[in-house]
Structure 1
Amino acid sequence: MRRFAAVLLDMDGTLVDSDAAVERAWLAWAAEAGVAADQIIPRMHGNPAPTTIAAVQPHLDPAGVERAAARQLELQYGDLDDVVPTAGAARLLVALKELDLPWAVVTSADRRLALARLGAAGIDPPLLVTVEDTPRGKPAPDPYLEAAARLGVPPGDCLVVEDSQPGLDAGRAAGATVAALRGLDGDVRLGDLGDLADLLTVESR
């Protein structure tokens, strides 16, 4: 670890525990679309909906992908019953405030869904970058480059925190240091966000 100028956090699975809601929506969409569950399960986390849909339904034209993605999002908007902060999230947010460290949420969700899930979890980020804010979503670097630019921080001075391979790929492509959850391979490996709170606090001393 070293000192960073900003922390850029993924939302689903990283800052907000929405796994069950994400999976319910994708499996419901797959059943409607006639897509086998084993095709959708490996792809349901980390990518924007159009990317996933284009991968499992390559016969669709761009308009068809857009319609399918809109339907998939509709299945997610109202499903907030078990959406909560992830383990250690509260400690991390306190640490970021105490350290006066700029941070942002960078998500593959659209703004409506991001605000709904963050609201359900009681989290109000100072900056929110969604899939609607850049021409390309994760795993392209665009979302993290956009967040760094809005914070006025060089991407190389940012720490990206992710729980999926597409997100980690996006952070690396942006030139940031990446911290990985869920046993994934990052520059820093975290058990939960409380670990990150401890690391940032120690490094600031």
Structure 2
Amino acid sequence: MTTLTCRAIVFDMDGTLVDSTAVVERIWGDFAAEHELDVDDLLAFAHGRQTHDTVTRFLPGLPEVEARALTDGLQAVEAGTGGGTVEIPGAAAFLEGLPTDRVALVTSANHDLARSRMAEAGVTWPAVVLASEQVAVGKPAPDGYLLAARLLGVAPDEVVVFEDAAAGLEAARASGASVVVVGDHDGPAADGLPRITGYEGVSVTVRDDGTLELTLP
């Protein structure tokens, strides 16, 4: 068992609270085929990052207005593609059991896409949500996690972040938060971190001093 104490908990979305792998791989696969890109390289980079960062990384010569239009189109397709998104095991129940004023979501998806995926998976929409529109510099920069801590009224080192991808893990670590890996990512960004495969068996207790005690199986 691993025990962590904090004053707030912040989650990534894709791969952390919901699993949208099938949808993501299909849409990015179509994008890669259309632009004659290596889909494996594209997916390896895209996971955990804002869509626009992926578009500009793989189509660097595209004028910004065209890159932004392409980004908007991809996000609209993702938000409008139903089916295939499910909760990470136990995520909905775990989130429901947390104090609502201590929880935030920091996602590289835009607001509409995040809403769509959380609703389809049946996972509660937190009171504090930072989607790509609210974070100018996306993961692996720590900006989103630093802003989430500020909005929750806590110091970054009083936060536990749940993340699954290299870019997100790097961002969370750089913010100064404690970090828990969700899933099987085993790259350098996950070295030395506690890990869960789902939220079943994860418990939280509110102590008398207001801190949260997290117990991981």
TM-score (ref. length: structure 2): 0.84
Deviations 1:36-65 (A, max 9, x none): 323312123101011112222222232232
* Equivalent residues of 2:108, 2:138 under 8 A apart: yes
| Distance in 2 of aligned mates of 1:2 and 1:101 | 19
| Distance in 1 of aligned mates of 2:14 and 2:195 | 18
Aligned to 1:188: 194
Aligned to 1:178: 179
| Distance in 2 of aligned mates of 1:23 and 1:112 | 19
Aligned to 1:12: 14
Aligned to 1:118, the other structure's residue is in SS state: helix
What is the root-mean-square deviation of aligned Cα atoms in Å? 2.1
| Equivalent residue runs for 1:144-159 within 5 Å | 144-159=145-160
How far 1:204 moved relative to its partner?
Answer: 6.2
Number of residue equivalences: 201
Structure 1 gaps of 5+ residues are none
Aligned to 1:120: 120
| Equivalent residue runs for 1:1-205 within 5 Å | 1-97=3-99, 102-122=102-122, 123-184=124-185, 185=190, 187-195=193-201, 197-198=202-203, 200-201=204-205, 203=213
Which has the larger displacement, 10-19 or 87-96?
87-96
| Distance in 2 of aligned mates of 1:90 and 1:182 | 16
| Distance in 1 of aligned mates of 2:160 and 2:148 | 12
Aligned to 2:97, the other structure's residue is in SS state: helix
Identify the structure with the greater helix proportion: 1
Structure 2 gaps of 5+ residues are 206-211
Identify the structure with the greater strand proportion: 2
How far 1:91 moved relative to its partner?
Answer: 3.4
| Distance in 2 of aligned mates of 1:153 and 1:88 | 26
How far 1:25 moved relative to its partner?
Answer: 1.3
Name the CA shift for 1:74/1:34 in 2 (closer, same or farther; >3 Å). farther
Opposite residue 146 of structure 1, the aligned amino acid is L
Opposite residue 111 of structure 2, the aligned amino acid is R
Name the CA shift for 1:101/1:126 in 2 (closer, same or farther; >3 Å). closer
| Distance in 2 of aligned mates of 1:204 and 1:158 | 11
Opposite residue 152 of structure 1, the aligned amino acid is G
| Distance in 1 of aligned mates of 2:109 and 2:132 | 6
* Equivalent residues of 1:9, 1:15 under 8 A apart: yes
Aligned to 1:2, the other structure's residue is in SS state: strand
